[in-house]
Amino acid sequence: MLRGLRVVRGPDWKHDNQDGGHDHVGTVVAEQGDNTVKVNWDMGDSSICKAEDGNHELKIFDSASIGVTHPNIACVGCEEVCILGTLWKCSTCQNTNLCSLCYHDDKHDATHTFLRIDFPGTEPRSGKRRNS
Ligand SMILES: [Zn+2]
Ligand SMILES: [Zn+2]
């Protein structure tokens, strides 16, 4: 189950700047069989990447996998309290937060700009939705 995993490009990356450049983070949004996954990049397009052993197009960058949570912050998409991993905050509406899966499912208003907070207490970084 890779869906929702946060990833960066790995040493075998061969998709040019689809990810928006080096060190940009994306989210696995679908497993497509044949050991490939679809990744939506925060600042770029989406890519279909190999995700098999020995082929390192992707590296896991997941604050959720190292146990980062945003306590007492509820996702307006799935109503999960205590968001795991990356938190997405609407910069248009007050108190509107999404988890990564809901963000990439286009929950809330897709025309609104979101800020990304990977770790609680860090500066929010701006993100860009696929179709905004
Ligand atoms: Zn959610
Ligand atoms: Zn909003």
* Pairwise CA distance, residues 22 & 26, whole Å: 11
Ligand nearest to the CA of 110: 2
Domain borders along the chain are: 6-60, 69-126
Confidence of residue 132 (pLDDT cuts 50, 70, 90): very low
Considering the entire predicted model, what is its pTM? 0.58
Q: Which CATH class is domain 69-126?
A: alpha beta
CB neighbours of residue 47 within 10 Å: 22
Convert the pLDDT of each residue in 30-76 to its tens digit.
988 888 999 999 887 899 998 877 778 998 886 666 678 888 899 99
pLDDT of 48: 95
Please, which residues have CB less than 5 A from ligand 2, an ion?
Answer: 90, 92-93, 96, 109, 112
For 6-60, CATH number out of 2.60.120.330, 2.30.30.40, 3.40.50.2300, 1.10.357.10 equals 2.30.30.40
pLDDT of 40: 93
Confidence of residue 93 (pLDDT cuts 50, 70, 90): very high
Convert the pLDDT of each residue in 97-128 to its tens digit.
999 889 988 999 989 999 989 888 778 888 76
How many alpha carbons lie under 13 Å from residue 39 in its C-beta half-sphere? 31
Ligand 1 mean position to 36 CA, how many Å? 24
Residue 14 vs residue 118, higher pLDDT: 14
